[in-house]
Chains A and B, each alone.
Chain A
Amino acid sequence: MMDMSKLPILKDYEEKIYVCNRCGFCRPACPVLSQKNMEETASPRGRMSLIYGLITNELKPSMTIVDKIYLCTTCRYCYVKCPAGLEVDRIIEVARYELTKITIAPPEAHKIISSKIDNYNNPFGEPQFDRIKWLQRESAMKLPEKAKVLYWVGCMASYRVQDTAITTTKILRHANVDFTILGTEEGCCGSVLLRTGQRNPVVNKYARINVEKISAKGVETLVTSCAGCFRTFSKDYPEIVGDLPFEVLHVSHYIERLIKDRRIEFKEGLPMRVTFHDPCHLGRHVGVYDAPRNVIKAIPGVELVEMVNTREEARCCGAGGGLRSAFRELSITIAAHRLKADALPIGAKVLVTPCPFCILNFEDATKVYGIGIDILDLTELVCKALRI
């Protein structure tokens, strides 16, 4: 099928690729590079060189190039550091798409994910019915057929980090929000496919189907607790299907709104010292930095201590861009580095973050490396404060 979306192709970035003057300012930012002890081939500039080689035909597409181009979490930190303002992360994503088009990419792990999504509607290959298992664990409740707000749970929270799904629904119920979910009708948003160069099924199918299903519920606002889904709905879908017929909010936005409207009130204090980790796909990708912080600050007793590298300078957790699925060990060392280099030195005992991908990776890192720090989803913190 023809790609009718407005998603860019490599040619669209050609001018930009020639602008890179190899100053290397992007190098120290890269979470992958620091784990590879600064080897140029694993750096943003290295990836830009390889893409330059592809564009100028000085290089032919090869497995080595695929390897290097997929060593990226699409964390976008390099973009923040680039004096020319080059969106290295997007250029990498588009290069992945071109390599996928000629079938030498993606790596096997990502191909498997794609086929699982195709067959099971989720990247884990779990039964569709299990998508609402967490809901059964939560006291059985009836959700309306139609509602103003739709909570988009996302695959990660549905199957792997179910606490996030449970606490998010608890909060919505506590605030008497007229909301529903798609339940077993929910599928994958396609985030992982877009990030790994496999955009076709998202462009041809998933984006449209998801938007249709959501619209059919009469929804005005979509709320999601996943930074990856949020980026996909708020940035990618409009490029694929045009403006969406509903508003897209991350749960941190929505809770901030509920607090402001006094639909949530914190009556008791929660004496706790926490730090906050900005998920890349929420922060650098969409620019949401204040909403989750405002929620944390609204809880009496909670003291928020910032890490040195924070907001647009936040180091990545290592899970994004398909890195966790294809290079698990590397991905977890990146998470461990974030905790050890940034969170521990400020004496943080609890790290709060509003993304199930970050949570999973950080939790794995604490186990593998024995790092003494609790990882909490923002919604879990809010539930604790509300005593629900």
Chain B
Amino acid sequence: MFMKQRKLVQIIEKLKNIVRSEHVLTSYEERYCYSRDASLYWAMPDVVVRPHTTEEIVEIVKLANKEKIPITPRGAGTNLTGGAIPVKGGIVVDMTGMNRILEINRTNLIAVVEPGVVHEDLEKELAKHGLFWPPDPASTYSCTIGGAIAECAGGMRALKYGTTRDWVLGLEVVLPTGDVIKTGAMTLKNVTGFDLTRLFVGSEGTLGIITKAVLKVRPLPEALLRMSAAFYEIEIAGLAVSKIFETGIVPTIIEIISIECIRAINEWLKLGLPEVDALMVIDLDGTREEVEKLAGKVEKILKDVGAIEIKRATTAKEMEDLYLARRAAYPSTFRAFRKSLTVDDFCVPVNKLPEAFRLAREISKKWRLPMAIIAHAGDGNIHPIWPVDVRYPEEIDRVLKCHTELSHGILKLGGSISAEHGIGILKASLIEEEYGKKAIEVMRAIKRVFDPNDIMNPGKIAL
């Protein structure tokens, strides 16, 4: 309990005047359900509120700001760095009740949504209109658009299309003072003043609560060609990515999964994938002629680098199986390790991929941790996955030490400690190493402008 009991009782009463009383959760058990996300962290909120309108949020935030009570916005709680953990207690604002798709406009190529919309629901709805929103986090089944924006989520298609920051045109945000601002526009272009939209994208709920988003969407491409290639060494697979880029081709996705995943998938789904060190899946999209032409070139490059079993998916079933293989990499690793998983997230310049793979393996070995790798390789984005038995603090400690050592190594390669999972609590101590003191000071100064009382998701991103 962070707040004094008497004050808490008053706050709860006031919150019940703002939202329907059933949307104020106070029991220990209910709050316990909101004490964790998909990271390894844990902290109890003093109270959970479930608003359903921007007006309600304004009132909640004004109350919190007046009383200097911490607020932690929360989507589906699937982030992996502790972003939704109320480290200083206070109010958790659960945004999942605000989940309406407000508009899909095929002519203007926009979608307007409330932040609690589940990513997969939007994807399905857009598909009905022949459209898609390119950011495609693997947590699509559960994560919210608000969470994706606040974390600047990426995914497989980020290679060709970029991450969330490239696909948000405008936002409605309730600032920590209770003021509502609009950023960006409903238009495809806009340079009216500073780009506040981009400031909020990836801000992890530290600058305000996003209550509405205007998303840029695209028509679904006419044709999609999928191929796979196997490699005796994952480093060679990494090298192949550079070689593809050198010829001027940018596929939609280039994914790499390591032997641990391949074996686990075969065991679970019996897909009969080649059990070599790494498997690459490549998607090319565009018109039919385009993709055919590019595929031929890519195949040649892969062969020259030393790939084996280069295969084009020719039937719908083969297309599906390959996609399944990539999508199943995470769940099957889960099943194979039979433990909870910690998923890390780094980015390196593409030409450093082979070194990064080697480094991840060396350091994991040093800390006696089995590891699987899933990589959005086209972006230089690597996810080392370590199993962890959460009952043993020693094991958690080893995972964290391994993560820290690998982070230092990645920075030395000119990489970044976070590609798409954010900083949260997990990486707060590393941010200065990547940016230097001054940049952090600038960020802190910006934070103060928005949030003079430091109520909005305090204790995150080293702010």
Which A residues lie at the B interface, using CB under 8 A?
Answer: 15, 18-28, 37-41, 46, 49-50, 53, 58-59, 62, 64-65, 68, 81, 83-85
B418 at the interface (CB under 8 A from A): no
Is A21 in contact with B32, judged by CB distance below 8 angstroms? no
Q: Which residues on B sit within 8 Å (CB–CB) of A64?
A: 27-30
Q: How far is the CB of B219 from chain A (nearest CB, A)?
A: 22
> A353 vs B420: C-alpha distance in the bound complex, in angstroms?
45
Q: A25 with B142: in contact, given A40-B77, A40-B94, A84-B331 (CB under 8 Å)?
A: yes
- Which of the segments B54-62, B226-234, B338-346, B364-372 contacts the partner chain? B338-346
Chain B residues contacting A65 (CB-CB under 8 Å) are 29
Q: Is the CB of A81 within 8 A of B141?
A: yes
Nearest CB on A from B24, distance (A):
11
The residue of chain A having its C-beta at the shortest distance from the C-beta of B334 within the complex is: A84
Residue of A nearest to B37 (CB): A22
Return chain B residues, CB-CB under 8 Å to A62: 29
By the criterion CB–CB under 8 Å, are B29 and A68 in contact? yes
Q: Is B38 an interface residue (CB 8 A)?
A: yes
Q: How far is the CB of A61 from chain B (nearest CB, A)?
A: 10
With a 10 A CB-CB cut-off, give which of A21, A28, A49, A65 has the most chain B CB atoms. Answer: A21
Across the interface, do A22 and B38 meet the contact criterion of CB distance under 8 Å? yes
Residue B76 interfacial (CB < 8 Å): yes
Residue of A nearest to B29 (CB): A64
Answer yes or no: B351 CB below 8 A from chain A CBs.
no
Decide if B33 touches A22 in the complex (CB within 8 Å).
no
Residues of B within 8 A of A85 (CB): 331, 334-335
Given A38-B116, A84-B334, A85-B335, are A27 and B76 also a contact pair (CB < 8 Å)? yes
Contact B389 A18, beta carbon cutoff 8 Å: yes
Q: How far is the CA of A1 from the CA of B425 in the complex (A)?
A: 51
B36 at the interface (CB under 8 A from A): yes
Q: Spell out B's residues near A (CB within 8 Å).
A: 25, 27-30, 32-34, 36-38, 50, 52, 76-78, 94, 96-97, 99, 116, 118, 120-121, 139, 141-143, 330-331, 334-335, 338-341, 389-391
Bound-state Cα–Cα, A41 to B29, Å:
8
Q: List 21 A-B contacts (CB under 8 A).
A: A18-B390, A19-B334, A19-B339, A22-B36, A23-B38, A23-B78, A23-B142, A24-B141, A24-B142, A24-B143, A37-B97, A38-B99, A41-B29, A41-B30, A41-B33, A49-B32, A59-B32, A62-B29, A64-B29, A83-B331, A85-B331
* Cα A81 to Cα B29 with chains together (Å): 25
Chain A interface secondary structure, helix, strand, loop or mixed? loop
B residues within 8 A CB of A27? 76, 118, 141-142
| B197 CB to nearest A CB, Å | 26
**CB proximity of B119 to chain A, nearest CB, Å:** 10
Q: Are B30 and A28 in contact (CB under 8 A)?
A: no
Chain A residues lying within 8 Å of B340, measured Cβ to Cβ, are: 18-21
In the bound complex, how far is the Cα of B389 from the Cα of A21, in angstroms? Answer: 10
Residues of A near B116 (CB, < 8 A) are: 38
Find the B residue at minimum CB distance from A83.
B331
A83 touching B330 by the CB < 8 A rule? yes
Contact of B121 with A28 in the complex, beta carbons under 8 Å: yes
Whether the Cβ atoms of A24 and B30 lie closer than 8 Å is no
- Taking a contact as CB atoms closer than 8 A, the residue among B33, B78, B390, B391 that contacts A50 in the complex is B33
Number of A-B contacts (CB under 8 A): 99
Smallest CB separation, A92 vs chain B (Å)? 14
Q: Which 6 A-B pairs give the minimum distances between C-beta atoms?
A: A83-B331, A24-B142, A38-B96, A64-B29, A46-B33, A25-B141
Output the least CB separation between B233 and chain A (Å): 28
Q: Return chain B residues, CB-CB under 8 Å to A24.
A: 38, 76-78, 139, 141-143
Q: Which residues of A contact B96 (CB under 8 A)?
A: 37-40
What CA separation (Å) do A41 and B389 show in the bound complex? 24
Query: Which residues in B have their C-beta under 8 angstroms from that of A38?
Result: 96-97, 99, 116
Contact of A41 among B25, B141, B339 (CB under 8 A): B25
A40 touches B121 (CB 8 A): no
CB distance from B20 to the nearest CB of A (A): 11
Query: When the two chains form their complex, are residues A49 and B36 in contact, meaning their CB atoms are under 8 A apart?
Result: yes
B97 to chain A: which residues have CB within 8 Å?
37-39
Known: A27-B76, A37-B50. 7 other contacts (CB 8 A): A19-B338, A26-B142, A28-B121, A40-B96, A64-B30, A81-B141, A84-B335
Residue of A nearest to B76 (CB): A24
Q: Note all chain A residues with C-beta closer than 8 A to B335.
A: 83-85
Bound: A15/B337 CA distance, A? 12
Q: State whether A58 touches B32 (Cβ < 8 A).
A: yes
| B32 in contact with A50 (CB, 8 Å) | yes
- Chain B residue contacts of A19, Cβ below 8 A: 334, 338-340
Query: Once bound together, how far apart are the Cα atoms of A132 and B160, in whole Å?
Result: 68
Which of A20, A28, A59, A84 contacts B142, CB < 8 Å?
A28
Q: Compute how far the CA of A176 lies from the CA of B354 in the bound complex, rounded to whole angstroms.
A: 72
For the complex, give the distance between the alpha carbons of A352 and B235 in Å. 55
Residues on A with beta carbons closer than 8 Å to the beta carbon of B330:
83
Question: In whole Å, how far is B21's beta carbon from the nearest beta carbon of chain A?
Answer: 13
Task: Output the least CB separation between A13 and chain B (Å).
Answer: 13
Is A49's CB under 8 angstroms from B33's CB?
A: yes
Question: Nearest-CB distance from A71 to chain B (Å)?
Answer: 12
Chain B residues lying within 8 Å of A41, measured Cβ to Cβ, are 25, 29-30, 33
List, in ascending order, chain A residues with CB within 8 A of B143's CB: 24
Residues of A near B339 (CB, < 8 A) are 18-19
In the complex, the chain B residue whose C-beta lies closest to that of A82 is B331
Smallest beta-carbon distance B155→chain A, Å: 15
Residues of B within 8 A of A53 (CB): 29, 32
User: Chain A contacts of B141 at CB under 8 A?
Assistant: 24-25, 27-28, 81
Min distance, Cβ A72 to any Cβ of chain B, angstroms? 14
Residue of B nearest to A20 (CB): B340
B residues in contact with A39, CB < 8 Å: 25, 50, 94, 96-97
Which residue of B is nearest A39, CB measured?
A: B50
A23 to B147, CA, bound (A): 13
**In the complex the two chains form, what is the Cα distance from A140 to B91 in whole Å?**
67
> What A residues does B36 contact at CB under 8 A?
22, 49
